[in-house]
Amino acid sequence: MNPDDALRWEGELTLTRHDADTGTTFVIRVDSIRHGRAAGGTRAAQYASLTDALADAARLAEAMTLKMAVSNLPMGGGKSVIALPAPRQDIDAATWKRILYLHAENIDRLNGAYWTGPDVNTNSADMDVLSNTTDFVFGRSVGRGGAGSSAVNTAVGVFEAMKATARFGGMGGFEGLTILVQGLGAVGAHLATMAAQAGARLLVADVDSERIAWAQEFGCTPIPPARVSTTPCDIFAPCAMGAVIDRAVARRLSASAVVGAANNILAEDEAGSVLRDREILYAPDFVTNAGGAFHLVGREVLGWDADVVADNTRAIGRTLTQVYEISVAEGIPTDAAARTLARRRTAAPTSLAG
């Protein structure tokens, strides 16, 4: 990671704190509050350096700004990164509780400029713990008055994006399509189930053998995680971590389209250009994975019921089709086209379904 990438950031606010007792470093980055209070989840992971944690938080926060804008949601973008001293599964319950307490204290100090929610390695139970100390939390469990997990709705939105991509790319329906899902976690497992039920052939990769065993039970074919970028398929669906497609991967990818849930799928802008040159349709992640934001912000801020959340989540397919059309009309990669659409939508009056 180039250290300048972390410093050359044009966002609004950064909070950092180190706790020597637990060996944990906390980062909150608010990218933009131009269109509302910033929101975005809390990611807990190990980072090689503070620079890496800052850079990851910056990229994730910017993706939240774009997600809110392109989805017509009246919020800005932010994200938290908790840089752990050990893998999450090796951190004992008391230490994790202390880490969450400190994180909640940090969020509270921002006085509502930033609202958190679940992300990789945090869940609704963790949001319940944070909410003991701060009010600025999305995605508490339903029993505690929150909207609960956003994963199912995220998967529904990604599935809508796949259908729109198959239509736009002339692939037809799902019958006979081969879909490769990387990561069978909370989102990927639902996505694989929906795609299989729609008649697709599923290839799956996960580093967790239990997830693979589960998928094999309903007829999915496992492939080694290291082979995801070279295994031929119609749609590649990254649903594990970000930065999976750099220029080299984009040059060797053997898929007709990339449609996934992971935030920041492209490791670098140039990868989007390579995909375009190779006529591989890339569905920008901040468009496809907005189902989680529709669920959390829709339920907890806008007072939507399940039907309105579903209407807006279905609209992800139409938004993505507009992105593809802009990309063709203006001769630009789809990622740039989605940024253009986000800018247009924040300049125009909001029009949410329902």
| DSSP state letter for 258 | E
What is the rounded distance in angstroms from the CA atom of residue 175 to the CA atom of residue 181?
Answer: 16
Residues in CB range of 300: below 8 A, 6 or more apart = 138, 146, 147
- Pick from 207, 213, 248, 328: which binds ligand NAD (CB under 6 A)? 207
Residue closer to ligand NAD, measured from CB, 171 or 320: 320
Residue closer to ligand PPY, measured from CB, 88 or 167: 88
What is the rounded distance in angstroms from the CA atom of residue 25 to the CA atom of residue 18?
Answer: 4
SS3 content of the chain, % helix, strand, coil (to 5): 45, 15, 35
The answer to whether residue 282 forms part of the interface with ligand PPY (CB under 6 A) is no
Per the annotation, the verdict on 163 as an active-site residue is: no
- Pick from 24, 80, 289, 327: which binds ligand NAD (CB under 6 A)? 289
Of 136, 134, 127, the closest CA to residue 105 belongs to 134
The answer to whether residue 288 forms part of the interface with ligand PPY (CB under 6 A) is no
DSSP 310-341: HHHHHHHHHHHHHHHHHHHHHT--HHHHHHHH
Residues in CB range of 252: below 8 A, 6 or more apart = 229, 230
* CB burial readout 81-114, b (16+ within 10 A) else e: bbbbeeeeeebeeebbebbbebbbebbeebeebb
The answer to whether residue 310 forms part of the interface with ligand NAD (CB under 6 A) is no
- Which residues ranging from 208 to 267 are in contact with ligand NAD (CB under 6 A)? 208, 211, 225, 239-242, 261-263
The answer to whether residue 322 forms part of the interface with ligand NAD (CB under 6 A) is no
- Binding site partner of 77, from ligand NAD, ligand PPY, none, Cβ cut-off 5-8 A by kind: none
- Binding site partner of 182, from ligand PPY, ligand NAD, none, Cβ cut-off 5-8 A by kind: ligand NAD
Helix (H, G, I), strand (E, B) or coil at 354: coil
Residue closer to ligand PPY, measured from CB, 138 or 304: 138
Helix (H, G, I), strand (E, B) or coil at 268: coil
- Which residues ranging from 78 to 107 are in contact with ligand PPY (CB under 6 A)? none
Question: Count of residues binding ligand NAD (CB under 6 A)?
Answer: 27
The answer to whether residue 261 forms part of the interface with ligand PPY (CB under 6 A) is no
What is the rounded distance in angstroms from the CA atom of residue 209 to the CA atom of residue 139?
Answer: 28
The answer to whether residue 296 forms part of the interface with ligand PPY (CB under 6 A) is yes
**Site of interaction with ligand PPY (CB under 6 A):** 39-41, 117, 119, 138, 263, 289, 292-293, 296-297
**Site of interaction with ligand NAD (CB under 6 A):** 119-120, 150-151, 154, 182-188, 205-208, 211, 225, 239-242, 261-263, 289, 292
Residues with active-site annotation: 79
